[in-house]
Amino acid sequence: MGALRDFVAEVIELEGAAVEPVEPDGLDILAPAPLRSRMGWAELTRLGFGATLAAGAVPVGLEGQWLDRFGALFGERGRWAERQMPLGTPVPAPSDPERLIDHAFDLPNATWRLRGVSPGWARCLLLSFRYTAVSDDKREGLVWLGFNQSTGAVVTDLLLKLRPFVLAHDAWSAPDPTVHQMAGQRWDSATLSARVSPLLKHSVQRELEPFLRAMSRRLERDRARIHDYHNDLRFHSLRRLAALAGAATEKAEAERKRETLRLAAIEREYAAKIDDLRHNYALRVTVDWVQGLELFVPVQRYEVLIKRRKGERVVWLDWHVLLRVAEMPMSDRGLGIERTRLVCDDRLHLTDPAGQAPCRSCRRAWCRACHAKCPRCGARDPD
C-alpha cells in the first residue's frame, strides 16, 4: 500500500494539510477546515493503509469510495494537459525505410511506394477511461486509448510504452508554437467521438471477458440449483397425483385439489426465483472519462503512395524516435489495431478486413466507409 499512501499524502498536501508518515504504513494528518468538512475528518486524523494498522487509524484501501473521495478533491484539475517530449540525443532515421513500412502494415489488394521521409512532430492523444461493471459481483478498472492525431493511427501500445519516458522527465515542457504548427490541428469533437467510441467499446468488452465468463458460470450454477430443487418438488407432487388418479372418494378429490394447487404454487415460485436470478445477475456497465494527455513527440514521417487499380492516395506513417518503432497505418473504418488493411475501389478508403467483408444477405463485398448499407440489396450490418 506504499503507492496508495504516497498518493494520498500528495493529494492532501495540495489541499493545505500537514502530513507526517507513521509506522506501520500510516499517515498523521493535520487538516484545514475545508478539507475536514469535505472528508469528514477531525482536525488531527490518522490514516492506515496496510493490513496492520496503527492505533486509532482510519483504514484506507482501494475498495469502497476512497478513490472517488480523493479524486473529488482534484475537481477538474489534472483532467487535461499538453506536454512536449524532449528530443534528446539525435537519432538517425532507419536505413531501410521500405523494409520498415513493409513490416508496419499489409496491403493484400493494393501496392504502395515510398515518396519521402522527413523529421517532424506528432500530436498524440492518450485517454484513460474508468469502467465499472456491476452484477452479482463488481469489477472496476482502467482502459487506455491512444491516437496519433497527425496521421490518424491508433497508437495505444506505443503511448503506453512511452509513459516511462513521460514519468522520467520531471520538468514539464509546454509545446513550442513551432511544434504546435508542425504537429497539425487536434481532432474536432465529432471526429474524436467517432474514433473513440468503437475502440472504447471493444477495449472494455475485452477487459470484462474473464469477469463475464465467471458471472456466466455462477448464473448457470444457481439456475441449475433452482431448477433441480423445484423440479424435484414437482416430480413428487405429480407422483402423488398419479397415485390418486383411480380414487373416486371425497378425500381423494380433496387431495387432488391440494396437489394441483401445490403444483401451481411450485411453478409460480420457480418463475419468481428465476426472475430474481435475472435481476441479481443483470449487468450494468458504466464508463467515465478520467484524463487526457496530448503528447507532442518527435517522429520521422513517411509519405506513402497507395495504388489501387487506376486510383492512388497518399497516407502518412510515423516512426517514433523515442521508441524507435513504427506505428501501424490509419484506418478509415474499423478499430485499426491490426496491421492488415484493404483498399476500396470507389474512394480508396483504407479499412480493416471486416470493413470490406461480403454482405450477409447478397454476399457482395462492399466498403463500410463508403456506404452505411449494402449498395446492392440495402442490408445493414448488425450492430
Q: What is the pLDDT of residue 171?
A: 64
Count the residues in the chain: 383
pTM value is 0.80
pLDDT, one tens digit per residue, over 245-262 is 877 788 888 888 998 999
Residue from 234, 229, 255 nearest 243 by CA? 255
Q: What's the one-letter identity of residue 341?
A: R
Give the Cβ contact number of residue 260 at 10 Å. Answer: 12
Written as nine digits, the cell of 111 is 501496392
d(CA 251, CA 191): 78
- Binned at pLDDT 50, 70 and 90, residue 28 comes out as confident
Measured CA to CA, the distance from residue 155 to residue 195 in angstroms comes to 12
pLDDT tens-digit map of 189-243: 999 999 999 999 999 999 999 999 999 999 999 999 999 999 999 999 999 888 8
pLDDT greater at residue 194 or residue 164:
194
Count other Cβ atoms within 10 Å, centred on residue 70.
Answer: 17
pLDDT one-digit tens code per residue, 339-370: 999 999 989 999 999 999 999 999 999 999 99
Q: Write out the DSSP string of 195-262.
A: HHHHHHHHHHHHHHHHHHHHHHHHHHHHHHHHHHHHHHHHHHHHHHHHHTTT--SHHHHHHHHHHHHH
**High-pLDDT (> 70) share of the chain, %:** 98
Residue 62 predicted with pLDDT over 80 = no
Distances (CA, A) of 84 to 133, 172, 201: 35, 8, 29
The three-point CA angle 156-160-165 to 5° equals: 135
Per-residue pLDDT at 7 exceeds 90: no
